[in-house]
Amino acid sequence: MKNEMLHKLFALNHSKTMDGDTLLSIFFQNDKKELPTNSQTPTEIQDLIKNGVFTGSAKSSSFIRASYIDKNNILVAGLGVKSDSTPEIARQTGAMVYNKVAAEKVSELCVDVDALVKAAGKELAAVTLGAFFEGFYLASYTFDKYKSVQKPAGKLKSITLVSSDKKNDGWIKNLIEKTLVTADCTFLTRDLSNEPSNIGTPTYYANTIAKIAKQYGVKCTIMGEAECKKENMHLFLSVGAGSTQESKVVILEYTPKTGAKSAKTVSLVGKGVTFDSGGISIKPSMRMEDMKHDMTGAATMVGSTFMAARLGSKNKIVTLLGFCENMPGNNATQPGNIINTRAGKTVEIINTDAEGRLVLADVLHLAQDYKPDVILDTATLTGACTVALGKLASALFSNDSKLADQILDSSEQTEEHLWELPLWDEYFDDLKSNYADMMNSANDGAGGTIRGAIFMKQFIKEGQKWAHVDLANRAYDQGYLPYNPRKGSSGVYVRTFAEFAMNYR
Ligand code: BES
Ligand code: ZN
Ligand code: ZN
């Protein structure tokens, strides 16, 4: 399946008849780990169960090819014991089933919704199918536009959710819409993040995002270096000073059609370093190619913003993205330089590779001009994040414990883990400078992820609710989850931040 054919192929139809080359049934086990069947269960499936070929254990599936004309192929998927079920199991099972569908060259997939509703009830069936197809679609992503020979598009032409009960129409339609929007927006984030930096320049990203914003009725403003200078964003500009590429700040403003009284203004902020060479404090060459992904924070907020907008968020969303390229060069910022900021505080640059916090400090300060009720930023900020948390959860910080809990709630719903780290003011002592108001790094390797966060906190005004997520450890190479690509951008947290932006109260 090719991403650009998303909408043509993602024709999840609602229909009343089972008609397609492959029939998919999704099963829960009972508490005894048995598969309950009834007289309506197709005999082929009953045989599979009787023979022990298919037990219905979590994340399992079996495919039986029709052996004669006019008969459908049978595909069964297992979600394990119903009382232990989670959407994540369904999401991962959906991803595995996608791989089977692709390998077996299925062209029309027909899903037995009635049987699942009968076994699980409407609510659990809706949640399960939603997560299942989320995983299914997310697993279909490829990024091979730069290969001279591309992987052929899959054979899948349609997916039909079959239900005989009209009462199911509403939630099935919602599920289809949400699945398509989720896949589309996650793919956008992955595409932006995977773009190599010779194409993916600040100008490229600004123009690409502006085009998409127009399509969805979201206002887009682009600030070039002259405008940033007028805004005294010298710290942001110092990061791109060594690059031939012009730095850009992109501002997206989504305003809901109905202005409900309870609506809030949520600001999303993202680090968009299109390539992080480290600058004068240049990085070692090992895996430096991964630093094309150093704009994943911005890409994630782009995906979340469009997702929330397309799903009809009642909250206003103002998204600010700082795009620039961190390069050595004659004009590059040097260690020891002291730079002024939009907030009026001065920063001594100790390490030009600690540049993400410089980008965000000025952009976060600008975000506060929009008087948001809450600001959430995300960035591939520190390698130390992987040391602290491995690959399973990114680091969350907030100056407001209720806000942290709300973000953790959103992440629990999407099952994209976050883990809160402390933001005690004493951590700032390590960043006190001899010559300026602060240093951007202490260069002794201790508590790197927290120090990044505490640095940015200096640019948040009294009373402003703010949270920061360092996703450096989860931005790419997350193939341990079957719905993520083995290599390259994961698109993780697009769903969580969209959920948060929509539902923040
Ligand atoms: N972009 C990097 C962080 C990063 C590292 C992201 C590895 C993804 C994978 C960031 O700008 C950086 O270089 N941070 C330094 C900070 C240090 C100099 C204080 C780091 O983590 O080493
Ligand atoms: Zn860096
Ligand atoms: Zn960086």
325 CB under 6 A from ligand 1?
Answer: no
Q: Which whole-number Å values give the CA distances from 460 to 184, 352, 369, 454, 468, in the listed order?
A: 33, 22, 11, 10, 11
Same-domain status, 254 and 326: yes
Confidence of residue 19 (pLDDT cuts 50, 70, 90): low
> What is the per-residue pLDDT for 68?
62
Domain end marker among 135, 156, 183: 183
Give the model's pLDDT for residue 14. Answer: 64
* pLDDT value at residue 119: 93
For residue 69, what pLDDT band results from cuts at 50, 70 and 90? low
Based on the fold, state whether residues 447 and 408 are members of the same structural domain. Answer: yes
- Report helix, strand or coil for 112: strand
Q: Say yes or no: CB of residue 326 within 6 Å of ligand 1.
A: no
Mutate to test the pocket of ligand 1, among 274, 286, 382 (most ligand atoms within 8 A of CB): 382
- Residue-averaged pLDDT of the chain: 94
Is the model's pTM score more than 0.75? Answer: yes
The amino acid occupying position 93 is T
- State whether 137 and 235 are in the same domain: no
The type of residue at 445 is G
If one compares 258 and 421, the residue with the highest pLDDT of the two is 421
The closest-lying atom of ligand 1 relative to the alpha carbon of residue 442 is: 19
Of 140, 162, 183, which residue constitutes the final position of a domain? 183
Residue 189 in domain: no
158/219 same-domain check? no
Please report whether residue 342 resides in a domain.
yes
Distances (CA, A) of 277 to 295, 325, 353, 379: 13, 8, 8, 16
Place of tokens 């602060």: 438
Which parts of 256-383 fold into alpha helices (H)? 296-310, 356-367
In the block, tokens 């260069």 appear at 443
How many Å apart are CA 4 and CA 277, to the nearest integer? 31
Tell which atom from ligand 1 comes closest to the C-alpha of 351.
Answer: 18
Residues 159 and 276 in one domain: no
Of all ligands present, the nearest one to the C-alpha of 271 is: 3
Going through 193-290 in order, the beta strands assigned E by DSSP cover 219-223, 248-254, 265-276
Residue 214 domain flag? yes
Encoded tokens for 288: 């430096």
Atom number, ligand 1, closest to the C-alpha of residue 380: 6
The C-alpha atoms of residue 375 and residue 463 are separated, in whole angstroms, by: 12
Atom of ligand 1 nearest to the CA of 273: 1
Report the chain's C-alpha Rg in angstroms. Answer: 24
Residue 8 pLDDT > 80: no
Q: Is 448 in the pocket of ligand 1 (CB under 6 A)?
A: yes
- List, in order, residues 6 or more apart from 12 with CB less than 8 Å away: 133, 159, 160, 161, 176, 179, 180
pLDDT at residue number 439: 98
Return all residues near 162 (Cβ < 8 A) that are at least 6 apart.
Answer: 15, 16, 17, 18, 110, 111, 112, 113, 114
Residues 293-307, mean pLDDT to the nearest whole number: 98
Please give the distance, rounded to the nearest whole angstrom, from the Cα atom of residue 126 to the centre of ligand 1: 41
What ligand has the least distance to the C-alpha of 476? 1
Domain boundary among 183, 216, 251: 183
Shared-domain flag, residues 124 and 205: no
172/27 same-domain check: yes
* Ligand 1 contact, 384 CB (< 6 A): yes
How many angstroms separate the alpha carbon of residue 193 from the centre of ligand 3?
Answer: 13
Ligand 1 center to 363 CA (angstroms) = 19
How far apart CA 189 and CA 185 sit, in angstroms, is 6
Domain contains 224: yes
Q: Same domain, yes or no, for 170 and 202?
A: no
Give the mean model confidence (pLDDT) for residues 222-236. 98
pLDDT of the residue at 6: 43
- Residues 310-314, mean pLDDT to the nearest whole number: 97
Per 3-state DSSP, the chain is made up of helix, strand and coil in percentages (nearest 5) of: 40, 20, 40
Question: What pLDDT shows up at residue 86?
Answer: 96
**Tokens 């030009």 map to which residue?**
352
Examine the pLDDT at 324 and tell me if it is beyond 60: yes
φ, ψ (nearest 5 deg) of residue 249: -105, 130
pLDDT tens, position by position, 473-502? 999 999 999 999 999 999 999 999 999 999
Catalytic, out of 264, 283, 314, 345? 283
When divided into structural domains, the chain yields a total of 2
Better pLDDT: 453 or 168: 453
User: Relative to the CA of 326, which ligand 1 atom is closest?
Assistant: 11
Task: Give the span between the Cα atoms of 300 and 501, in whole angstroms.
Answer: 13
Q: Among all ligands shown, which has an atom nearest to the Cα of 383?
A: 1
Quick check: CB of 354 below 6 Å from ligand 1? Answer: yes
pLDDT tens profile 381-400: 999 999 999 999 999 999 99
Nearest to 262 by CA among 492, 496, 5, 505: 505
Q: How many Å separate Cα 429 from the centre of its chain?
A: 34
What is the span of the domain harbouring residue 27? 4-183
Is 283 annotated as catalytic? yes
Convert 464-494 to b/e letters by CB count within 10 Å (16 or more is b). bbbbbbbbbbbbbbbeebbbbbeebbbbbbb
Q: Is 474 considered catalytic here?
A: no
- 468's tokens: 């920061």
Cα–Cα distance for residue pair 185/502, rounded to 1 Å:
15
When pLDDT is cut at 50, 70 and 90, the band that residue 23 belongs to is very high
Residue 270 and residue 134 in one domain: no
Residue identified by tokens 């414990």 is 401
- pLDDT for residue 222 is more than 80: yes
Residue 188 included in any domain = no
Note whether residue 373 is domain-resident. Answer: yes
- Within 8 A by CB and 6+ apart from 117, the residues are 125, 163, 165, 168
Gap from CA of 399 to ligand 1 centroid (Å): 23
Of these residues, 248, 357, 451, 495, which one is catalytic? 357
* Residue 306 resides in a domain: yes
Per-residue pLDDT at 20 exceeds 80: no
Mean pLDDT computed over 131-148: 95
Tell me: the pLDDT tens digits for 341-360?
Answer: 999 999 999 999 999 999 99
Ligand nearest to the CA of 350: 1
Are 330 and 277 contained in the same domain? Answer: yes
What is the enclosing helix (H) or strand (E) of 413? helix 401-414
Instruction: Please determine, for residue 127, whether its predicted confidence score (pLDDT) is greater than 80.
Output: yes
Does residue 138 fall inside a structural domain? yes
| CATH of residue 131 | 3.40.220.10
**Helices 296-310, 494-503: inter-axial angle, 10-degree rounding:** 50
Cβ–ligand 1 distance for 279 under 6 Å, the answer no
Structural contact between residues 304 and 270, judged by C-beta atoms closer than 8 angstroms: no
Q: What is the mean pLDDT of residues 435-452?
A: 94
Q: Looking at the predicted structure, is the pLDDT value of residue 462 above 90?
A: yes
What does the alpha-carbon distance between residue 167 and residue 188 come to, in Å, rounded to a whole number? 34
Query: Is residue 470 in contact with ligand 1, taking CB distance under 6 Å?
Result: no
Cβ of 372 below 6 Å from ligand 1: no
Please indicate, yes or no, whether residues 159 and 254 belong to a single structural domain of this protein: no
DSSP, collapsed to helix, strand or coil, labels residue 243 as: coil
Does 268 share its domain with 374? yes
The predicted structure's pLDDT at residue 258: 86
pLDDT recorded at residue 153: 76
